[in-house]
C-alpha cells in the first residue's frame, strides 16, 4: 500500500498553538490564584500579629502598673540639701515610678524604674507610647531622675521636678499610630464623689489608679485598636508615714 492509503495520525500546527495557549492561560490563572492567596495570608498574618501586639501591650501595662512599688527617692538638687520624696511623676505625657515587673525578666527580676512617655510617631505622624527601663538599686538610683524640689508656678507649692525622658534604641514601643494619647490619675477624696480624675499628679503620695487614654489614627474593625485602659494601684500608705483612704 502506498502512503496515501495509510491512515495518518498527528496534530496540526493550529491545534498545537491552541493547546499551548490554553496551557499558558491555565498556568497564568494558577499563578494569579496563588498570588491572591499568598497576599490574603500575609494580610491575615499581619493582622494577627498586630492584634497580638495590642493585647500584649495591654498586658504589659497591667503588669507593670500592678507591680508599682511605693519607694522614696533621695532628690539631690545642685548646691542644695537632699530631700526625700515619694518617687512618682504623673504628667499628661509622662509617667515615672518603680515597678517589680520587668519586660525582660517579668516578675522574677530586680525592680526597675519605668518611664512611660507619649512621643511623636514616625515621620511626625500621630503619636506612640514608649517605655524605658532602668535598674532600681535604692533611693539614690531613683533620685538621679529628680532635679530638685521647687515651687510650682501653677499650684504654688514645692514639687519635685524631673529630667526629661530620653528616647533611644532601648525604648520599647507599646502602642503606635495613635491620633491622641494621655495619662490621667485618680485622686481619692474624703467627701462625695470620693474620687476625681486629674491630668497632673501633685500630691505627696500615689494615685489610686492610672488611666491611659488612647485613640487610634485609623479605625479598623478587623484589628484590636488601642483604647482606654484603667489600671488600679493598691497603695494606701506612704513610706514617709502618711496614711490615706
pLDDT tens digits along 109-122: 789 999 999 999 98
pLDDT tens, position by position, 188-241:
999 999 999 999 999 988 999 999 998 888 766 555 566 788 889 987 666 555
* Burial track 173-209 (b if 16+ CB lie within 10 A, e otherwise): ebbbbbeebebbbbbeeeeeeeeeeeeebebebbbbb
Phi, psi torsion values for 128, nearest 5 degrees: -140, 150
- Which pLDDT score, from 0 to 100, does residue 71 have? 92
For residue 47, how far is the Cα from the chain centroid? 17
Instruction: Return the domain boundaries, the chain.
Output: 39-232
- Which pLDDT score, from 0 to 100, does residue 240 have? 54
Residues of the chain with pLDDT under 50: 1, 5, 51, 243-245
Residue 12 corresponds to which cell in the numbers above? 496540526
- Which pLDDT score, from 0 to 100, does residue 115 have? 96
H-run or E-run covering 211? strand 209-216
CA distance 84 to 7: 110
CA distance 145 to 117: 14
Contact of 134 with 113, CB cutoff 8 Å: yes
Amino acid at each position: 500500500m502506498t502512503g496515501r492509503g495509510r491512515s495518518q495520525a498527528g496534530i496540526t500546527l493550529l491545534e498545537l498553538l491552541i493547546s499551548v495557549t490554553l496551557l499558558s492561560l491555565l498556568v497564568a490563572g494558577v499563578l494569579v490564584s496563588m498570588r491572591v492567596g499568598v497576599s490574603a495570608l500575609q494580610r491575615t498574618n499581619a493582622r494577627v500579629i498586630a492584634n497580638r501586639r495590642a493585647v500584649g501591650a495591654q498586658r504589659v501595662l497591667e503588669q507593670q502598673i500592678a507591680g508599682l512599688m511605693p519607694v522614696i527617692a533621695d532628690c539631690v538638687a545642685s548646691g542644695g540639701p537632699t530631700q526625700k520624696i515619694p518617687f512618682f511623676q504623673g504628667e499628661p505625657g509622662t509617667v515615672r515610678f518603680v515597678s517589680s515587673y520587668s519586660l525582660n525578666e517579668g516578675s522574677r527580676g530586680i525592680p526597675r524604674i519605668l518611664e512611660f512617655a507619649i512621643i511623636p510617631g514616625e515621620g511626625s505622624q500621630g503619636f506612640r507610647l514608649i517605655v524605658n527601663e532602668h535598674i532600681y538599686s535604692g533611693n539614690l538610683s531613683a533620685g538621679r531622675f529628680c532635679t530638685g524640689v521647687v515651687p510650682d508656678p501653677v499650684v504654688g507649692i514645692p514639687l519635685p521636678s524631673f529630667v526629661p525622658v530620653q528616647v533611644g534604641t532601648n525604648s520599647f514601643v507599646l502602642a503606635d499610630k495613635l491620633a491622641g494619647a494621655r495619662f490621667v490619675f485618680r485622686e481619692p477624696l474624703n467627701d462625695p464623689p470620693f474620687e476625681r480624675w486629674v491630668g497632673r499628679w501633685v500630691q505627696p503620695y500615689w494615685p489610686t489608679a492610672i488611666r491611659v487614654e488612647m485613640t487610634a489614627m485609623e479605625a479598623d474593625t478587623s484589628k484590636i485598636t488601642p483604647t482606654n485602659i484603667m489600671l488600679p494601684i493598691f497603695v494606701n500608705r506612704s513610706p514617709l508615714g502618711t496614711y490615706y483612704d
